[in-house]
Amino acid sequence: MLAYVIRRVLYGGGVVLGVLLFLGVLLFLFLLFFWAVEPEDMALRAIGEKAPPEAIAQWIENHGYDRPLAWNPDDQKDTLLYEHFRSMLTFDFGRSDIDDVEIARRLREGVGPSLSLTVPLLLLGVFFGISLSLFVAYFRDTYIDTVGVTLCVFGMSVSIVIYIIGGQYLIGKLLRWFPISGFDPSPEVMLRFLALPITVALAAGVGESVRFYRTVFLEETNREYVRTARAKGCGDGRVMTRHVLRNSLIPILTQVVMAIPFLFTGSLLLESFFGIPGLGSITVEAIHDNDFSTLRVMVFIGSLAFIVGQILTDLSYALVDPRVRLE
Amino acid sequence: MEGYVLSNCVVAVLLAAGAFVLRRAYQSRLWREAGAAVAQRRPASLGVVLIFVVVALLDAVSWVGPAPEGDTFGVQKPRTLIDRAFPVDWNERSYSAPLARAEFYGGQALAHPRRHLLGTDIIGRDVLHLTLKGARVALLVGGLTTLIVIPLALLFGVSAGFRGGRWDDLVFFLISTLAAMPSLLLLIALIAVLGRGPVQVCVALGVTGWVGLSRLARGETLKLRELDYVRAARALGVSEARILFRHILPNLMHLVIITAVLLFSGLVLSEAVLSWLGIGIDGSWGQMPSSPGSASGSMAPGGR
Structure confidence by residue, pLDDT tens digits, A265-306? 657 778 877 888 888 888 888 888 888 888 888 888 888 888
Residue numbers in B near A20 (CB within 8 A): 173
Q: What are phi and psi of B118, to 5 degrees?
A: -110, 15
Report the amino acid identity of residue B138.
Answer: A
- Tell me whether A159 touches chain B (CB under 8 Å): yes
A287 to B294: CB separation less than 8 angstroms, yes or no:
no
Judged by CB atoms closer than 8 Å, whether chains meet at B277 and A265 is answered as no
- Which one, of A181, A159, A186, lies nearest residue A169 by Cα? A181
* pTM for the model: 0.80
Distance from CA of A49 to the nearest CA of B (A): 14
Taking residues B94-113, what's their average pLDDT?
77
What is the pLDDT at residue A13?
A: 60
How far apart are the CA of B285 and the nearest CA of chain A, in angstroms? Answer: 11
Q: Could you read off the pLDDT of B153-171 as tens digits, one per residue?
A: 999 999 998 888 899 989 9
DSSP at B96: B
B203 touches chain A (CB under 8 A): no
Predicted pLDDT at A2: 67
Mean pLDDT calculated for residue range A241-265: 77
Look up residue A90 and give its DSSP letter: T
**B200 at A interface, C-beta within 8 A:** no
Q: Please identify among residues 235-274 of chain A the ones whose CB lies closer than 8 Å to any CB of chain B.
A: 262, 265, 268-269, 272-273
Q: Return the closest-CA partner of residue B252 out of B144, B143, B160.
A: B160
Going by pLDDT thresholds of 50, 70 and 90, the confidence category of residue B43 is confident
- Whether A296 sits inside 8 A of B189 (CB atoms) is yes
Confidence of residue A137 (pLDDT cuts 50, 70, 90): confident
DSSP designation for A168 = I
| Average pLDDT score over residue span B76-102 | 75
**C-alpha dist (Å) from residue B127 to B97, B98, B121:** 10, 9, 6
The answer to whether A267 and A110 have CB atoms below 8 angstroms apart is no
Interchain CB contact of B299 with A (< 8 Å): yes
Residues of A (278-317) whose Cβ lies below 8 Å from B: 283-284, 286-288, 290, 292, 295-296, 298-299, 302-303, 306-307, 310
Query: Does B149 have pLDDT greater than 90?
Result: yes
Residue A167 has pLDDT above 50, yes or no: yes
Q: What dihedral do alpha carbons A241, A242, A243, A245 form, nearest 10°?
A: 40
Q: CB–CB of B251/B216 below 8 Å?
A: no
What pLDDT sits at residue A317?
73
At residue A300, φ and ψ (nearest 5 deg) are -60, -50
* CA torsion angle B136 B140 B142 B143 (round to 10): 120
Which has the higher per-residue pLDDT, B203 or A71?
A: B203
Interval B178-197 mean pLDDT? 85
Dihedral sign from CA coordinates of A113, A269, B178, A29: negative
Cα distance between residue B243 and residue A235, in whole Å: 59
Tell me yes or no: is domain A103-326 CATH 1.10.3720.10. yes
Domain ranges across chain B: 3-63, 137-294
Which residues in A lie closer than 8 A to residue B273 (C-beta atoms)? 160-161, 269
CA distance B221 to B234: 15
Any chain A CB within 8 A of the CB of B262?
Answer: no
Pairwise CA distance, residues A307 & A302, whole Å: 9
Start-to-end C-alpha separation, chain A = 13
Helices A13-30, A292-320: crossing angle, 10 deg rounding: 170
The arithmetic mean of pLDDT across residues B13-19, rounded, is 87
- Radius of gyration, CA atoms only, chain B: 24
Residues in chain A within 8 Å Cβ distance of B192? 286-287, 290, 292, 295
The number of angstroms, rounded, from the C-alpha of B7 to the middle of its chain's C-alpha atoms is 16
pLDDT, position B73? 56
Average pLDDT over chain B, rounded to an integer: 81
Whether the predicted pLDDT of A188 surpasses 50: yes
How close is the nearest chain B Cα to the Cα of A21, in Å? Answer: 5
Q: Does the pLDDT at position B296 exceed 50?
A: no
Considering only CA atoms, which of A121, A99, A100, A112 is closest in space to residue A276? A112
Test B304 with A33 for CB contact under 8 angstroms. no
Domain ranges of chain A: 13-89, 103-326
- DSSP conformation letters of A281-321: HHHHHHHHHT-HHHHHHHHHHHHHHHHHHHHHHHHHHHHH-
Shortest distance, CA B151 to any CA of chain A (angstroms): 21
B176, B218 contact by CB (below 8 A):
no
Q: How far is CA A229 from CA A134, A135, B14, in A?
A: 17, 19, 64
Instruction: For residue range B227-256, list pLDDT tens digits in order.
Output: 899 999 989 999 988 998 888 999 898 889
Q: Are A275 and A243 in contact (CB under 8 A)?
A: no
pLDDT score at A192: 81
Indicate the SS3 state at residue B80. Answer: strand
Tell if the CB–CB gap between A24 and B173 is shorter than 8 Å.
yes
A163-174: average pLDDT? 81
Q: Does A36 touch chain B (CB under 8 A)?
A: yes
| Separation between Cα atoms, residue B9 and residue B15, nearest integer Å | 10
In 3D space, the residue among A27, A89, A275, A279 whose CA is nearest the CA of residue B299 turns out to be A275
- Segment 104-123 of chain A within 8 Å of chain B by CB: none
Q: Which of the residue ranges A96-105, A227-236, B91-100 has the most confident prediction, judged by mean pLDDT?
A: A227-236
Instruction: Choose among A81, A28, A281: nearest CA to B207.
Output: A28
Among 1.25.10.10, 1.10.3720.10, 3.30.1860.10, 3.20.20.450, name the CATH number for the domain at B137-294: 1.10.3720.10
3-state secondary structure of B62: strand
Distance CA B219, CA B21 (A): 31
pLDDT above 80 for A229 = yes
**Percent of chain B, pLDDT > 90?**
12
Over range A125-129, report the average pLDDT: 90
What CA–CA distance (Å, rounded) separates A10 from A17?
12
Report how many Cβ contacts below 8 Å link chain A to chain B: 113
- Provide the shortest C-alpha distance from residue B194 to chain A (in Å): 8
